[in-house]
Amino acid sequence: MSTKLQSMETETNAHAKEMSGSSMLIKALACEDVDVIFGYPGGAILPTYDEIYKTGIRHILARHEQGAIHAAEGYARVSGKPGVCIVTSGPGATNVVTGIADAMIDSLPLVVITGQVATTVIGTDAFQEADMIGITMPITKHNYQVRSVDELPRIIKEAFHIATTGRPGPVLIDLPKDVSLATGLFDYDKEVDLPGYQPTVIPNKLQIRKVVDSVTTAKKPVILAGAGVLHAKASEELARYVEQQQIPVVNTLLGLGSFPGEDELHLGMAGMHGTYTANMALHEADLLISIGARFDDRLTGNLAHFAPNAKVAHIDIDPAEIGKNVPTEIPVVGDAKEALKMLIEEQGERGDHQEWKTWLSGLKEEYPLWYVQDGETIKPQHLIEKIYEVTKGEAVVTTDVGQHQMWSAQFYKFNHPNQWVTSGGLGTMGFGFPAAIGAQFAKPDKPVVAIIGDAGFQMTAQELSILQELNLPIKIMIVNNAALGMVRQWQQLFHGERYSNSLFPIQPNFVKLAEAYDIKGMQVNELHELESALKEMFDYPGPVLMDCRVAKQENVYPMISPGKGQHQMEGVKP
Q: Which of 32, 51, 65, 237 is catalytic?
A: 65
Q: Check residue 301 and give left, alpha or beta (phi > 0: left; psi -120 to 50: alpha).
A: left
Cα-based angle 179, 183, 186 (whole degrees, multiple of 5) = 105
Give the per-residue SS3 of 274-324: CCHHHHHHHHHCCEEEEECCCCCHHHHCCHHHCCCCCEEEEEECCHHHCCC
Backbone angles phi, psi at 186, to 5 degrees: -95, 110
Q: Are strands 83-87 and 37-40 parallel, antiparallel or unpaired?
A: parallel
Residue 95 to residues 64, 356, 453, 459, 503, Cα–Cα distance (Å): 8, 50, 22, 13, 27
Q: Are strands 448-453 and 266-269 parallel, antiparallel or unpaired?
A: unpaired
177 in catalytic set: yes
Q: Which of 24, 406, 477, 486 is catalytic?
A: 486
145 in catalytic set: no
Query: How many Å apart are CA 31 and CA 101, to the nearest integer?
Result: 27
Query: How many Å apart are CA 488 and CA 553, to the nearest integer?
Result: 9
Backbone angles phi, psi at 245, to 5 degrees: -105, -10
Beta bridge partners, 491, equal: none
Q: Which of 81, 177, 220, 341 is catalytic?
A: 177
Give the per-residue SS3 of 329-346: CEEEECCHHHHHHHHHHH
269 in catalytic set: no
Residue 435 to residues 113, 266, 396, 413, Cα–Cα distance (Å): 19, 27, 11, 20
Q: Are strands 17-20 and 183-186 parallel, antiparallel or unpaired?
A: antiparallel
Residue 564 to residues 272, 277, 304, 307, Cα–Cα distance (Å): 10, 16, 9, 13
Q: Which of 6, 17, 54, 127 is catalytic?
A: 127
Residues 6 or more apart in contact with residue 246 via CB below 8 angstroms: 265, 350, 353, 357
Q: Name the residues annotated as catalytic.
A: 65, 127-128, 177, 486
